[in-house]
Structure 1
Amino acid sequence: MNVVGRMRAWQRGWHQRTKIERVELQSVVLWHAMPWLLFLSWGSLPLGLSLAPELPAQVLGWAMVATAAGQCVQVNRSLRRALDHYLGRAPYPARDLAVSRALMVVMLVLALALQTVDGVEEGLIGFPVAFLVVPHFEALAFALPLRSFGVRFALVEAAVVTGFAAVGVRDGRLLGIAVLVAFGTGVALLSTRCGAWTLSVMWEADRAREVEARLAVAEERLRFGRDLHDVMGRNLAVIALKSELAAQLARRGRPEAVDQMVEVQRIAQQSQREIREVVRGYREVELGVELIGAQGVLEAAGIPCRVTGEPAGLPAAVQSALGWVVREGTTNVLRHGDAQHCAITVSVTEGQTTLTIENDGVPEGRAATGGTGLPGLRERLAAVGGTLEHCADGSLFRLTARVPVSPGADLGDEAEDALLAGAPRVGAS
């Protein structure tokens, strides 16, 4: 039962991650596995099978195997911190890299000692030597710029070649060791740095999309503020002037003051109508357009969406209310969970219009979390007598809005004004 529980918890954790977080997790798992795969193929098996039976060779050889395993353990411990440093999340992991570098030096010393006692078959020492640089340079590839990485490689290459030359390795064998060290370094660099660069680009693109969305909201707020200023600035200036004139006329006992106040009343009523038009133009939406837009956005995000029903003939206020439900519901499908399909249904019966949004892929417990989006929709629908319900059945989430208005009914200006005044903050849930 504990195993099943852990598997379910892991599955919930996986589905709660964003797509970028999943890509990063998969990459980290592969980076953790790579040194162990090379340990088996380059380090332990070739060395263990080619050791001479003499005691010094056995001791040095298996000490190299143990040190190589320690290198793999250390790089697994330090890899996450090195990657976070590359992505700008953590400081330079100096201590981890120092331990990794020390293990690499120990591995090199053991290899040189093994070479001096002729404890391994001719030519097979190159495989462990190629491996000894991989764990350290795998972590180093994340932590250093490419130029500094190249300098470190040159120093290690020179140390390895000098060491083997000092113990009597010459000519082609020495060149082969140099090539194998370069090959191991290249494997470590290409298998890690390319993936890390891809992750950094993906995270940067994600941050850019978030900034773009915020800028779009700010631009729309500026547009709305400018329109409201254009409407109210002129009318309020006229109202102020005519009120001042009416006050002066009233002090003098002139009957024209009444005419001026009547004009002030007329301008105030006109301002009210113009503000209503500005707000309607800013917030009023058409349900048919919202349905088409929601389907296009979801399918562009890789979520098949089926739209059923025809909103034609519904009153403008009903379309506006349900259009906001479509916007908020679509936003929640994109932001929460990992939906594989979505269905939007509009049904019109006598006396009631119903909109249903249903999607799967909702993580357990996510559907019940708080927010301001759904409460804002309830306030907006309540202004015209509508209701909003949501329920979750496993990974299936259903959002249902009902407006008790027959097709073609006219809610009137007061109901429309109440509807517009209750607009929710879309995307905040």
Structure 2
Amino acid sequence: MQPRIPRPTVIAAIIVGMTAVTLAGFLLPALWYEAFDRHDPARVAFSAAGVATAFALYARMLWLNMMRRTAPGHRFGLAAIAAICWTLPLLGVGHGWGNALLVPAGLIAVVLPLRQAIPVAAAAAVLTPVYGVLLGLPALSVLYEMVGVPLAAFSGYVQVWLFHVVQELREARAEVARSAVGEERLRFARDLHDVLGHSLQAVALRAEVAERYLDRDPGRVRKELTEIQTMARDSVRDVREVVRGYRATSLRTELDGMSAVLRAAGIRCDRPEVSPELPAHVHEPLGWVAREAATNVLRHSSATWCEITVRTGGDHVHVEIVNDGAPRRAAGDSGSGLTGLAERIAAAGGRFSAGPSGDGTFRVTAAVPASPAVPASPAAPAARGEA
């Protein structure tokens, strides 16, 4: 099962929250000791102000850099965090304040460009343990500082980089969906141009010839008008063939195209098995269901998977399309595309339903009779006409 990817702001808030928990593990135990063991109001006020300032600056700069709102002034914020975290251990390294030396390292590769972050992180990896030795940290703690600084710098860089990668992948998927729709429109426009361009030009030329012989040769004019009528009828037939290629194709072709487009957009969608013995009349209405469902998945959801099922049960052919990432809609809130599908399926004598299922999925189901619907008898209208 593929997890649904939240919005970028939600991911950023989660990262900032997890980072705050990590910072709390570094700083709050020492602050607790100052507040409840030493009972020195001045020391408590100083340490609490330093911890709160470091927390606020760290969270703000991490958020702004993930939102790509970087600024040169962030370097001063990083310097302020470093000054605070290197001052707090002066209260005493024996009760956890030595951990504060690692805090600024997580922002080095976030705030600074990579070409500057590498030498700064290397310098911090040397200066931090040296400062720890001067403060009187145990040898094991000094070794921990030496290893922890580059690891913290790398971790900060990776988490922001991965956040930006996820955001770019979301934008790329949306662009792929827009491109698929645009390519389909261009293909239709190209086919329509190829069919109508030559025919309309020939009609225009025949009309000019007829106009030229209007007063001199009525027989020639009559012949040209007959040719114009023939060309016009042929053009109408050709346009119908083009439209039929988009509207009345086989259900298997529609489902193959749907699964291919969704996979190109990064949505897991397996091509379903379609029986070659399906009645011919079910292909057009169920093909429309597949097209509209693909459009809805691409445009109106943040889907990661889509399941398509085709089965023949009883006297109906059933198609069911389910996807995750469905938006929450009010009851009765359906687009014109789904309304049009309901009308098409009803005209074919079938049943149609579409809507969210309450578990984050959107379900489209359609059933068309295996036997073609019997059209209404024209006897009654004819009788009224004769009357």
> Is the shorter-chain TM-score for this pair beyond 0.5, marking a shared fold?
yes
- The alignment partner of 1:251 has SS state of coil
Structure 1 position 261, deviation (Å): 0.9
Aligned length: 369
Matching of residue 281 in structure 1 with residue 281 in structure 2:
no
Relative distance call for 1:358 and 1:301 in structure 2 (3 A) is: closer
Q: State the alpha-carbon separation in 2 of the partners of residues 303 and 249 from structure 1.
A: 62
Q: What are the within-5 Å matches in structure 2 for residues 27-426 of structure 1?
A: 27-39=15-27, 63-64=46-47, 67-68=50-51, 70-85=53-68, 90-92=69-71, 94=73, 98-99=76-77, 101-112=79-90, 114=91, 124=94, 128-134=97-103, 136-150=104-118, 152-153=120-121, 169=134, 182-291=146-255, 301=267, 310=275, 312-315=277-280, 318-332=282-296, 336=301, 342=307, 344-347=309-312, 355-357=319-321, 362=326, 364-365=328-329, 369-378=333-342, 381=345, 388-392=352-356, 394-395=358-359, 397-401=362-366, 403=368, 406-407=371-372
Distance in 2 (alpha carbons) for counterparts of 1:349 and 1:244: 61
Residue 162 to residue 294, structure 1, CA distance change in 2 (3 Å): closer
Query: How large is the Cα RMSD of the aligned pairs?
Result: 4.8
Give how far 1:263 is off: 1.2
Cα gap change, 1:248 to 1:297, in 2 (>3 Å): closer
- State the distance in 1 between where 2:373 and 2:6 align: 43
Provide the TM-score with structure 1 as the length reference.
Answer: 0.66
Give the TM-score taking structure 2 as reference length. 0.71
Residues 17 and 202 from structure 1, CA distance in 2 versus in 1: closer, same or farther, beyond 3 angstroms?
closer
Residues 54 and 84, structure 2, Cα contact 8 Å, conserved in 1: no
* Displacement of 1:284: 3.5
Tell me how far apart the structure 2 counterparts of residues 392 and 346 of structure 1 sit (CA, whole Å).
22
Q: Which whole-Å CA distance do the structure 2 matches of 1:210 and 1:21 have between them?
A: 17
Find the aligned partners of 1:361 and 1:218 in 2 and give their Cα distance. 23
Mean CA deviation greater in 191-200 or 393-402: 393-402
TM-fit CA distance, 1:266: 0.8
Aligned CA distance change for structure 1 residues 304 and 73 (closer, same or farther; 3 Å): farther
CA contact (8 A) 2:66 2:163 kept: no
Compared CA separation, residues 384 and 263, structure 1 to 2 (3 A):
farther
Query: How much does 1:196 deviate?
Result: 1.7
For the residues of structure 1 that align with 2:125 and 2:357, how far apart are their CA atoms? 61
C-alpha contact 1:71 1:100 (8 A) present in aligned 2: no
Identity %: 30
Deviation at 1:273, TM superposition (A): 1.2
> Partners of 2:130 and 2:220 in 1: how far apart?
108
Q: 1:70 to 1:83 in 2, by over 3 A?
A: same
1:327–1:26 Cα change, 3 Å: farther
